[in-house]
Structure 1
Amino acid sequence: MSSDTEYELQAFSQSAPLTLGVELELQIVSGQDYNLVGAAPDLLREMAGRQHPGDVKPEITDSMIELSTDICQDYQDALTQLRSIRHQLVSQADRLGILLSGGGTHPFQHWGQQAIFDAPRFHHLSQLYGYLAKQFTIFGQHVHIGCPDPDQALWLLHAFGRYIPHLITLSAASPFVQGIDTGFQSARLNSVFAFPLSGRAPFVLTWDDFAAYYRKMVATGVVKSMKDFYWDIRPKPEFGTIELRVMDTPLSVERAAQIAAYAQALARYLLQEKPFAPQEDDYLVYTYNRFQACRFGYDGRLVVPGSAEQRVIRDDILRTMAQIELHAYDLGSTEALNLLRTEVLQGRNGASEVRDAWAREGSLEEVVRQGCERWAGRLS
């Protein structure tokens, strides 16, 4: 007989407001043919006991790993930690004769060749989702933002919904899938959307209401923990954060830190200025806006929630950057914002850089090799 405690949501932990945490899923690449290689167990063994911030963990298949920072105060803290973890990872990868890369998808790997990492949770997911589990050999950046209390966390989660196209476009780095240019800026998110508990969180603004929703979901047997939700943004009660999950893993740790800084400044702007009140009807255009960003990036068009106004995504990002400029200054991330603004004005992101490399080299193997060199900090 089930007890009521089985259905209870974990209490929302205390967290310093606006602190950051960054997670990056990385490709493990063969130094011979530049395809993915199932070397995660070997790399994790080499990393064991090494001194670095944060953590390095397995992911669902053997050809990927996830790095995560400790709690970061600001952009420079995140950048320093990410560079330190990268240094250790690249050093140990070099010892093993393997390479590491950013990017949301590997340009020519085939999902059927991937092996599930030997861990109970990953085997469970493989049994549950079938071939989708191996197709989940895709690579994302997650950013955690500390929230002062659970109700403000839910408010911020829904307020961020209208800026999801920004985060997708700035990080987009997955134009190729299985050797084909998909025409998308971020093809990775199409794989995420295949999961039944993906999409967006239910529109509730109090932790009590969210806990009631969670109890109902657990009672159905569909959900066993918060990890079962693959939402674009989800609360993380154990950390006292919201987790932004739509970004592709950028091609460098520097870009990953800049995107985290943009999210932090945007969160400060939203929480302090409250420029609008989130509404359920904001989600009427959510999927459309999300698609436009995935497909067209900076040139996509979004519908401003609560209106019929349409804006080019590039223009909306630049407008928002102007609105959050003082917040970025107060947080010490003016440099990050300026670097991102330059990319926006020039229409550059990871997807455009991958396509440029393909046009220049005519070889996806060479595109991957250069991506690995860039990730390692050996190629600008």
Structure 2
Amino acid sequence: MSLPVFSQSRPLTLGVELELQIVNTHDYNLTPQAVDLLRQMRGVSIPGEVKPEMTRSMIELSTGICEDHADVLSQLREIHGALQQGAKRLEVALCGGGTHPFQDWTARQIFDRPRFAELSELYGYLSKQFTVFGQHVHIGCSGPDQGLQLLHGLSRYIPHLIALSSSSPFVQGADTGFDSARLNSVFAFPLSGRAPYVLSWEAFTEYFQKMRRTGVVKSMKDFYWDIRPKPEYGTIEVRVMDTPLTVRKAAAIAGFIQCLARWIRTERPFELSEDDYLVYTFNRFQACRFGPEATYVDPSTGEHRLLRTELEDLFARLEVHAMELRAEGAIQHLRHELLDIGNDAGRLRRLYAHGCDLGELVREQTVIWSEA
């Protein structure tokens, strides 16, 4: 399969995808009812779509093209409401969170689709362990070269996005010590990590064709990069976020990314350099492990700073862009949460520390999700 032509899209438009957990309402373990939930959604009018994911205890919702934070929030709430009604009819529940706290990956069932079967054959047990739940945000780009430049500009802020969105501290019945344990499952795949440092679509096409000739990849879907181009949509897709516990938080993260993209696009606050990636893996690990309390190494200066301080400074820099994009509410929501609990991982740990067992913790997640 050749690389698709990079489609035209309006700069800074948004699209959001959320992977959700389907749980029973007895012990709140995952339940393989994606097929039934998809059947409930047939004929329901929503602004985006609902699709299956790798295993049958997952569902993915996606918005249509959105102009701004308010549009994202409106579309997510409409899809959320329709899904909640379908889940209620099936007597199951839905929730956010990047991992299910106590599910056994060996019990998972691969969804019956050719691509999922092919991935299961290729990756073995990793496919079932990929029952993790993330948020993806698409940003519209005026052209492919501009998309690649934005991709590498946003890569500086992967740790910030991880720290804000982390919601996966528990895996297999234990506190992992990570704010985002979900990303450890993603990093296990051989084509994960960062995109190659090329700044023109011509050079990227050459790279893709070389990779395709090796037989390692067939399409862009085979790359599990933290940010990747989505040429058929005319977007770049930011993929490092855990699924938040609420629709409101998911919309706020999308609004924050839109503000970041506008700042980078209009002000060009730093020069792009492949040397930025010297500290990329360190910064990403720190954010997964410690969230806002991580150490962040500035790619330009080498200065070590607390990621929480970096985030507070970044919110201040983005205020003008938030006003222009009508995203003040998104920035305010994230700033308030950072000061209050840090992120959703902190919220889950706090609930657990106050006496919730893990089943009760998931029940609380379903209640939080139901409030939209």
Query: Is residue 117 from structure 1 mapped to residue 94 from structure 2 by the alignment?
Result: no
CA contact (8 A) 1:258 1:340 kept: yes
Specify the alignment match of 1:132 in structure 2: 126
Of the structure 1 ranges 355-364 and 154-163, higher mean CA displacement relative to structure 2 is found in: 355-364
- Alpha-carbon distance, 1:185 to partner: 0.3
- Alpha-carbon distance, 1:105 to partner: 0.1
Specify the alignment match of 2:199 in structure 1: 205
Of the structure 1 ranges 356-365 and 117-126, higher mean CA displacement relative to structure 2 is found in: 356-365
Q: Deviations over 1:18-38 (max 9, x none)?
A: 000000000000111100000
Cα distance in 1, alignment partners of residues 68 and 286 from structure 2: 30
- Alpha-carbon distance, 1:307 to partner: 2.1
Q: Deviations over 1:275-325 (max 9, x none)?
A: 111111100000000001000011101100022201111111111111111
Corresponding residue SS for 1:260: helix
- Alignment partner for residue 219 of structure 2, among 222, 225, 250? 225
Specify the alignment match of 1:28 in structure 2: 22
TM-score (norm 1): 0.97
- Alpha-carbon distance, 1:51 to partner: 1.2
CA contact (8 A) 2:226 2:238 kept: yes
Task: Report how many aligned residue pairs link the two structures.
Answer: 372
Query: Is residue 285 from structure 1 mapped to residue 272 from structure 2 by the alignment?
Result: no
Cα distance in 1, alignment partners of residues 175 and 138 from structure 2: 31
- Alignment partner for residue 173 of structure 2, among 171, 179, 184? 179
Cα distance in 2, alignment partners of residues 164 and 262 from structure 1: 12
Cα distance in 1, alignment partners of residues 263 and 36 from structure 2: 43
Corresponding residue SS for 1:306: coil
Runs of 5+ consecutive residues of structure 2 not aligned to the other structure: none
- Alignment partner for residue 42 of structure 1, among 18, 36, 39? 36
Specify the alignment match of 1:246 in structure 2: 240
Supply the AA of the counterpart residue of 2:367: E
Supply the AA of the counterpart residue of 2:325: L
Query: Is residue 19 from structure 1 mapped to residue 28 from structure 2 by the alignment?
Result: no
- Alpha-carbon distance, 1:361 to partner: 2.5
Specify the alignment match of 1:164 in structure 2: 158
Specify the alignment match of 1:263 in structure 2: 257
Corresponding residue SS for 1:269: helix
- Percent of matched pairs sharing the same residue: 60
Runs of 5+ consecutive residues of structure 1 not aligned to the other structure: 1-5
Corresponding residue SS for 1:137: coil
- Alpha-carbon distance, 1:362 to partner: 3.3
- Alpha-carbon distance, 1:339 to partner: 1.3
- Alignment partner for residue 65 of structure 1, among 45, 59, 70? 59
- Alpha-carbon distance, 1:248 to partner: 0.1
Cα distance in 2, alignment partners of residues 347 and 63 from structure 1: 29
Corresponding residue SS for 2:167: coil
Q: Deviations over 1:215-258 (max 9, x none)?
A: 00000000000000000000000000000000000000100000
- Alpha-carbon distance, 1:52 to partner: 1.1
Supply the AA of the counterpart residue of 2:55: T
Specify the alignment match of 2:338 in structure 1: 344
Over the aligned positions, Cα root-mean-square deviation in angstroms equals 0.8
Query: Is residue 75 from structure 1 mapped to residue 81 from structure 2 by the alignment?
Result: no
Q: Deviations over 1:158-194 (max 9, x none)?
A: 0111100110011000000010000000000000000
Q: Deviations over 1:125-177 (max 9, x none)?
A: 00000000000000000000000010010000001111001100110000000
Moved over 6 A (4+): none
Query: Is residue 98 from structure 1 mapped to residue 92 from structure 2 by the alignment?
Result: yes
TM-score (norm 2): 0.99
Cα distance in 1, alignment partners of residues 329 and 286 from structure 2: 28
CA contact (8 A) 2:341 2:347 kept: no
Corresponding residue SS for 2:286: helix
Specify the alignment match of 1:3 in structure 2: none
Q: Deviations over 1:42-92 (max 9, x none)?
A: 000010110111000000000001000000000000000000000000001
